Amino acid sequence: MSRPTEVLTISPEAIARAAAAIRAGQLVAFPTETVYGLGANALDAAAVAGIFAAKGRPATNPVIVHVATFADAEALVATMPPIARILADRFWPGPLTLVVPRGPNVPDIVTAGGPTVALRVPAHPVAQDLLRACGVPIAAPSANRSTCLSPTRPEHVLRGLDGRIDILLDGGPCSGGLESTVLDITTDPPTLLRPGLVSVRQLEEVVGPIRRQTLPDATIARSPGSMKRHYSPTTPVEFAADDGWEQVAALVDQGFRVGWLAFGKVKVIDTAVIEELPIEPRNYAAVLFEALHRLDDAKLDRLVIALPPESDEWLAVHDRLARMSQTKASRERQRPEES
Ligand code: TXA
Ligand code: MG
C-alpha cells in the first residue's frame, strides 16, 4: 500500500509530530547511533504489524524494543536478570541490545511469539527525544526492506521505504554505521546472538566470559534475524582473502563492470569503481554500509570485497560480510551479457 512519506528535518515541532504519529499507530523512521530504525508503538500490535508489512519481514523474526531509560525497560520484562543493571550502567544509552524474559504487556508480534524480548536504550539525541516525547516504547528494526543493506543515511531509508511509511525524521548520517550487539542474558553465561558495535572484549570486561554463537546457521533458532542471507547488496559479491586485486583484474578481463571494496589504500585503476575502507575496525564499520550503498547505486556486475583480518575486533564486520554471500544461481542470472 502506498502513502506519502513526509521527510521532517529535526526541530522540536518535528519531534512532536513524529511522537503524535507513533501514538496514533503510524510508522516513523528515525536515526539512532547505529543505523536508522523503523519505529512503531511497541504496545500496539496492529502498528507493529505495519512494520513487518513495510519491510517485507517474516513474522518469525522478532524486533527490538527501544526505551528511554532502564526504568522503562523494567516495565516490559517478567523479571530483570541482575546482570542487566550492570550492563546497562556501563553500556546504556548505547549500541547494546539485551534479550530478557518478556513481560505480559508485550504483544506477541514483537517477540515472534517467543518468551523473550530484546530491549535497547539508544544514545542518539533524536531517538531519545522521540522516546521521551511519545511516552511509549518503540519497536524498531533497521529501516530497510528485509534482507537488504541497513540504512545509515536518510536517503537509504527512502530508497527502500518511500511511500511505505508515514514519516522519516532526517537526522543526517548515523555515526556508528553498524547495528547494536545483541546479547541474550537469559542464559548463564550470557550468549552473544549478534556481534555489533559493543565488542565482545568490552562485554567480557564487565560480566566475564560470554558464550559466542555467531555462526548464522547455528543461531537461526535463537535469533531468527541471523538467518543467513541478510544485509545484502543487490550486486553479486565475491570475497578476496588477499587485497582483491587479482580477482578484480580477472573479472574486468571477462568484461564485468566491477566494484572493489578495498581494505585501506590500493593502487588506483580506472577500470573498476574503488571504495577504500579504513583499516581500523570502528572506522571501517562506520562507513561499510554507506560504501556498499554507493557501489550498489553504480549498478555494477560484481563486487569484490577484500576481507579484513580475522581477529576479535573485526567480529561484527565479518558477521555482516558473511551474510552478504549469494548463491551461484543468483550470480549466473546476472551475467553481463544477459542483463
Ligand atoms: O542497532 C540496532 O540494533 C538497530 C537499531 C534501529 O536499533 N536495530 C536492528 O534491528 O538492527 P533488526 O530488527 O534489524 O535486528 C534485530 C536483531 C535480529 O537479529 C532479531 O532476530 C534479534 O535482534 N532479536 C530481536 N528480538 C529478539 C529476541 N527476543 N530474541 C532473540 N533475538 C531477537
Ligand atoms: Mg536489520
Quickly tell me which residue has 570486561 as its cell: 205
pLDDT digits (tens, 9 = 90+) for 135-177: 999 999 999 999 899 999 999 999 999 999 999 999 999 999 9
Ligand 1 atom nearest the C-alpha of 176 is 1
Tell me the CA–centroid distance for residue 190 and ligand 2, in Å.
22
* Ligand 1 probe mutation, 97, 117, 213, most atoms within 8 A of CB: 97
What pLDDT was estimated at residue 179?
A: 97
pLDDT of 298 > 70? The answer is yes
What pLDDT was estimated at residue 222?
A: 44
Share the mean pLDDT of the chain: 91
- Edge-to-edge, what's the strand order for the sheet holding 96-101? 6-9, 167-170, 28-30, 37-41, 138-139, 64-66, 116-120, 96-101, 181-184, 191-194, 211-212
What pLDDT was estimated at residue 38?
A: 98
* Ligand 1 probe mutation, 109, 168, 223, most atoms within 8 A of CB: 223
Q: Which of 208, 175, 180 is nearest to 195 (CA)?
A: 180
User: Whose CA is closest to atom 7 on ligand 1?
Assistant: 37
What pLDDT was estimated at residue 268?
A: 75
pLDDT digits (tens, 9 = 90+) for 315-327: 999 999 988 874 4
More confident residue, 214 or 232: 232
Tell me the CA–centroid distance for residue 328 and ligand 2, in Å.
24
pLDDT digits (tens, 9 = 90+) for 219-266: 333 444 444 566 789 999 999 999 999 999 999 999 999 999 999 999
What pLDDT was estimated at residue 195?
A: 96
pLDDT of 331 > 50? The answer is no
Tell me the CA–centroid distance for residue 165 and ligand 2, in Å.
16
Angle formed at CA 154 by CA 149 and CA 155, multiple of 5 degrees = 70
Tell me the CA–centroid distance for residue 269 and ligand 1, in Å.
39
pLDDT tier at 328, thresholds 50, 70, 90:
very low
pLDDT of 206 > 70? The answer is yes
Ligand 1 atom nearest the C-alpha of 66 is 7
Task: In whole angstroms, give the CA distance from residue 30 to residue 9.
Answer: 11
Tell me the CA–centroid distance for residue 141 and ligand 2, in Å.
6
- Residue 77: count other Cβ atoms within 10 Å of its Cβ: 19
pLDDT of 214 > 80? The answer is no
User: Whose CA is closest to atom 19 on ligand 1?
Assistant: 225
Q: Which ligand is nearest to the CA of 139?
A: 1
Mean pLDDT over 276-291 rounds to: 97
What pLDDT was estimated at residue 228?
A: 55
pLDDT of 1 > 70? The answer is no
Q: What is the bridge-based pairing of β-strands 191-194 and 211-212?
A: parallel
Tell me the CA–centroid distance for residue 258 and ligand 1, in Å.
32
The pTM of this model reads 0.92
Q: Which ligand is nearest to the CA of 224?
A: 1
3-state secondary structure of 150: coil
Q: Which ligand is nearest to the CA of 150?
A: 2
Torsion sign, CA atoms 248, 250, 251, 255: positive
Pocket of ligand 1 (CB under 6 A): 32, 34-35, 37, 61-64, 95, 97, 99, 111, 114, 116-118, 120, 140-142, 179-180, 182, 193-194, 223-226
Tell me the CA–centroid distance for residue 29 and ligand 1, in Å.
15
pLDDT digits (tens, 9 = 90+) for 69-113: 999 999 999 999 999 999 999 999 999 999 999 999 999 999 999
User: Whose CA is closest to atom 33 on ligand 1?
Assistant: 223
pLDDT of 336 > 60? The answer is no
pLDDT digits (tens, 9 = 90+) for 19-38: 999 999 999 999 999 999 99
pLDDT of 178 > 50? The answer is yes
pLDDT tier at 267, thresholds 50, 70, 90:
confident
